[in-house]
Amino acid sequence: MIAIYENLKKGIVGRELEMASIIVAMEAGKHILLEGPPGTSKSTLLRKIARESNILFFNIEGNIDLTPAKLVGYFNPSKVMADSYQPEYFEKGPLTRAMEGGGILYIEEFNRMPADVSNVLISPMEEGEMTIPRYGTVKAMRPFTVIAAQNPYDDVGTVRISRAFMDRICLIKMDYQSEEEERKIVRMQTGSKDPEAIPLAVEMVRATREHEDIKLGASIRAAIDMVDLFTGMQKLADHPRKNILIAARMALSNKIWLNEMTRKTADNIIEEIWSSLRDRYKTFAGNGISTRGVLAPNPNGDIPLGREQAVKKKINAP
């Protein structure tokens, strides 16, 4: 276990506490619920643990269409009709395969799947076995582990997790990483050596997580996208101030969740964050641009006049 932990640290930025917690829980035969916003490296961490430990890894996404049969498995209808129920005609689902192979069953968006599907997991987690009609009893081989994941900020299309399930898991909370760790991740993922694009992208993304008009900010994926897009734009035309804002809009607009009461658009907020940060960076300092001319409402709820409109109003004033 110690050797695995040391190897994991070489390929993952930070997350030492979370890695240790997952490994210890698996070693003790516990099942796990990972709770954290998107982009906090939950699946990346688990895939790395499975690879380093040489453990089978089965990944499924929780949604309203997931059924017990898709999770457990089912008998092939055509073969059953031709030759009755035979064990070899059973098409094993990810839960059955994970139990028989002693693997990890990772369920993303766990709180989006129906309650009858999550209830199927109770017996395998508690008793280490599951009885399938006409197939037999499936016994879990160690280190079979159910690892569920959910976003605590999601409240659309989610279901309440039963106390029976919560009573059988250990909770590990995963938040965003430090600013320095996020810079390192972006550098590794993009291969960029730009001394200012990476810190600016990370700072803008982190600012979305604290903005009063944003319910859920962007993950590190947005910073990676922003740097990649900026690098590509620079190859076409060397206009850093213009290109970084275009890249920011492309990378962030669809990754932030606005508060229902705000009158601002995603682009309003992105340009607002950009304006508050750009002068810290020599490459991007200056007046910047506004490619859409969309201005945020002032505290009175009025849309402020742009420079050209203000001049016209002054000229036409009586």
Residue 201 or 295, more confident? 201
pLDDT category of residue 297 using cuts at 50, 70 and 90: very low
* pLDDT for residue 155 is more than 80: no
Amino acid 166: pLDDT? 84
Give the burial class of 253: count Cβ atoms within 10 A of its Cβ; 0-12 exposed, 13-18 middle, 19 or more buried.
middle
Spatial separation of the C-alpha atoms in residues 245 and 294, rounded to whole Å: 14
Q: For the chain, what is the mean pLDDT?
A: 84
> What pLDDT is recorded for position 36?
87
Return residue ranges of the chain for CATH 3.40.50.300.
2-173
- How confident is residue 295, by pLDDT bands cut at 50, 70 and 90? very low
Q: What is the pLDDT of residue 85?
A: 82
Dihedrals phi, psi of 73, to nearest 5 degrees: 130, 180
Per the CB < 8 A criterion, the answer to whether 159 and 113 are in contact is yes
The alpha helices in 1-76, defined as continuous H runs, are 2-11, 16-27, 42-53, 68-72
Distance CA 313, CA 232 (A): 40
**Dihedral over Cα of 10, 14, 18, 24: its sign:** positive
pLDDT at 138: 93
102-120: pLDDT as tens digits? 999 999 988 888 888 888 9
Rounded to 10°, the helix 179-190/220-236 angle is: 50
Domain 2-173 class? alpha beta
b/e map of 183-195 (b: 16 or more CB within 10 Å)? bbbbbebbebebe
* Contact present, 129 and 113 (Cβ < 8 Å): no
pTM listed for this prediction: 0.76
pLDDT of residue 2: 62
Can you give the pLDDT at residue 1? Answer: 61
Residue 168 has pLDDT above 60, yes or no: yes
What would the pLDDT profile of 30-89 be if each residue is shown by its tens digit? 999 999 888 888 888 899 889 888 899 999 988 888 899 999 999 888 888 878 888 888
Q: Which residues 6+ apart lie within 8 Å of 15 measured at CB?
A: 41, 45, 174, 177
Q: Which helix (H) or strand (E) holds 74?
A: strand 73-75
CATH architecture type of domain 179-290: Orthogonal Bundle (1.10)
- Asked if 57 contacts 50 with a C-beta cutoff of 8 angstroms, the reply is yes
Across 160-164, 186-190, 262-266, least confident range: 160-164
Q: Which two tokens stand for residue 112?
A: 């989006």
pLDDT in tens, 246-258: 999 999 999 998 9
Annotate 104-166 with DSSP letters as a single string: EEEEETGGGS-HHHHHTTHHHHHHSEEEETTTEEEEPPTT-EEEEEE-TT--SS--PPPHHHH
Q: Give percent of the chain above pLDDT 70.
A: 86
Nearest Cα neighbor of 241 from 271, 206, 208 is 271
pLDDT for residue 304: 44
